[in-house]
Amino acid sequence: MMTGKRLFKRRLKQHIQFYMQIRRVAVDWAVWIYVLIPLLLTGLYQYITLWNMEAGWATYLNEPALALIITIFIFSGISISFLQSADILYLWQKQDVMGTLHRYRLGYYYTISLVKWLIVIGILAPIFMVYLNWTGSMLCALGLIVYFLQVLVGILRRRFKIQLGKWVSRFLIIGLVVVVYILMRYSLAHMATTGWVLALVTIVMTAYYSTYFIRQKQNFYREIDLDTEHKNKLLQLVLMQSAYIGGPEYLSEKISNLRKHPWLFRKSQKMFKAYTPEIGYREVFIKSLLRSKNWLLLYVQIVGFGVFGIVMFPFWLKWFMWIGMIFLIGNFLKTYWNKIWSHQFLDLVKWREVEPQKVSRHTFRIAIIPASLVLSAVLGYIILSYWGILFLPMIGLAIAFGVVEFFTKRIS
């Protein structure tokens, strides 16, 4: 007979197998050699310098910055229902099995959150204890507050998405982010006096709502939709990383959303006065990139990661991060160009022959300018203050155009 415990074990096994398959697809030997191992070695070096109080960049991590980092971590967790469509009829008839499954599901979320927080608190420990002169008791109180707050926020976010409309849940989650950030600012500033009181309040609130959550009736279909949406987004991210061309970017979007008019260029106005086949391809590339939420978000994420690395990494690594991110943006544009160039729409009619390298060269230059200016301005300000903002972006544009030449020569 199927029990809640056996059902949870079966679903957990499938859940782990899914993530193992994702790992095998996303992380091959090249990723280990060129990305993960250098990042791990760099992180280990920086961690040692933190304990030795030799990391100059740690001075940027004041209480507001740490509160922001911890808030981002608190909202990074997600609860899994471990439900499938085939379970619905059986679980409706077996409420005791459903209750057991919810308890194990919640216990799993508690465990995963604890493991993640132990890793994060271990990374942040030298900053609090060496640079901010915190005691072990204060760090333990902070650990309890953040751990139970992450569990509580994860449960609340899922309940918002299940029980409320899309925009209502989004506004509530934004409000929750503001509340959590203010709470973390207050906690970090008054940890010595009120840390354990806040920890006790957080524990009581999380325990109460966890009990309340177990007793609530579940919306089966919405629970399954949320799990499917989360998996699709993860698959889409992996496929985009692997330069996969095709339909996955539509998996997480609803048909009703796809039929709506785009926010940008709603009437498909011309971007350029002249209109030649070359300019037509350029306009298609730029418009489709700006209209694609997923690809545009990836573009912004690459730039954001580059800005973070330039700010946080030591002096000699800032330059590598700066050039590396510009090079990565160039590769991103080449990947998206291949997607556009091979789209079925272009095969519907016979277009005038154009030189792909020439068209892509001008298009890439336009698309790479924003990323190059942002990364160069941040690096210039850190190194030379306001004078760097004036001069380094020009050097960055020269490097960016060189990167464009490198990738356009590989387009056929």
Listing DSSP states for 219-284 in one string gives -HHHHHHHHHHHHHHHHHHHHHHTT--SGGGGTTS-HHHHTSPPSSSTT---SSSS--HHHHHHHH
- With 50 as the cut, is the pLDDT of residue 382 above it? yes
In the prediction, which pLDDT does 148 show?
A: 92
3-state SS, residue 353: coil
CB 373 within 8 A of CB 396: yes
Confidence of residue 68 (pLDDT cuts 50, 70, 90): confident
Higher pLDDT, 184 or 162: 184
* Size of the chain, expressed as the number of residues it contains: 412
In the prediction, which pLDDT does 22 show?
A: 77
In the prediction, which pLDDT does 355 show?
A: 73
Task: For residues 332-360, give the mean pLDDT.
Answer: 71
pLDDT in tens, 134-163: 888 888 999 999 999 999 998 888 888 888
In the prediction, which pLDDT does 373 show?
A: 92
- Residue 350 falls in which region: left (phi positive, over 0), alpha (psi -120 to 50) or beta: beta
In the prediction, which pLDDT does 11 show?
A: 83
What is the percent of the chain with per-residue pLDDT over 90, rounded to a whole number? 9
In the prediction, which pLDDT does 159 show?
A: 84
- Its pTM stands at 0.59
Structure tokens at 31: 């990723």
- With 70 as the cut, is the pLDDT of residue 361 above it? yes
Query: Measured in Å, how far apart are the chain's first and last C-alpha atoms?
Result: 60
Structure tokens at 213: 């959550």
The residue among 358, 249, 256, 246 whose CA lies nearest residue 296 is: 249
pLDDT in tens, 225-277: 888 877 777 776 666 555 433 444 443 444 444 445 555 555 555 666 666 66
Structure tokens at 112: 């995963």
Eight-state DSSP code of residue 378 = H
The residue among 221, 211, 250, 227 whose CA lies nearest residue 106 is: 211
Structure tokens at 364: 């890439």
Eight-state DSSP code of residue 130 = I
Structure tokens at 111: 């465990």
Structure tokens at 310: 């330039």
Confidence of residue 343 (pLDDT cuts 50, 70, 90): low
In the prediction, which pLDDT does 220 show?
A: 73
d(CA 279, CA 275): 6
d(CA 404, CA 349): 29
- In the block, residue with structure tokens 């698959």: 235
- Which amino acid is it at 215? R
Higher pLDDT, 351 or 155: 155
Half-sphere exposure of 284 (CA within 13 A, CB side): 19
Higher pLDDT, 377 or 223: 377
Task: For residues 165-187, give the mean pLDDT.
Answer: 88
Structure tokens at 236: 């889409």
In the prediction, which pLDDT does 36 show?
A: 75
In the prediction, which pLDDT does 92 show?
A: 66
Share the mean pLDDT of the chain.
79
d(CA 120, CA 280): 49
CB 185 within 8 A of CB 64: yes
In the prediction, which pLDDT does 265 show?
A: 55
Residues whose CB is less than 8 angstroms from the CB of residue 323 and which lie 6 or more positions away in sequence, other chains included:
399
Task: For residues 36-49, give the mean pLDDT.
Answer: 80
Residues whose CB is less than 8 angstroms from the CB of residue 87 and which lie 6 or more positions away in sequence, other chains included:
7, 220
- With 50 as the cut, is the pLDDT of residue 35 above it? yes
In the prediction, which pLDDT does 221 show?
A: 74
- With 60 as the cut, is the pLDDT of residue 280 above it? yes
- With 70 as the cut, is the pLDDT of residue 380 above it? yes
Lowest-confidence segment of 16-25, 43-52, 237-246 by average pLDDT: 237-246
Task: For residues 40-65, give the mean pLDDT.
Answer: 78
- With 70 as the cut, is the pLDDT of residue 187 above it? yes
Listing DSSP states for 97-117 in one string gives HHHHHHHHHHHHHHHHHHHHH
- Which amino acid is it at 141? A
The residue among 196, 216, 99 whose CA lies nearest residue 155 is: 216
Provide the 10 A C-beta neighbour count for residue 363: 25
The residue among 298, 226, 230, 242 whose CA lies nearest residue 19 is: 230
Based on the number of CB atoms within 10 Å of its own CB, is 327 exposed (0-12), middle (13-18) or buried (19 or more)? middle
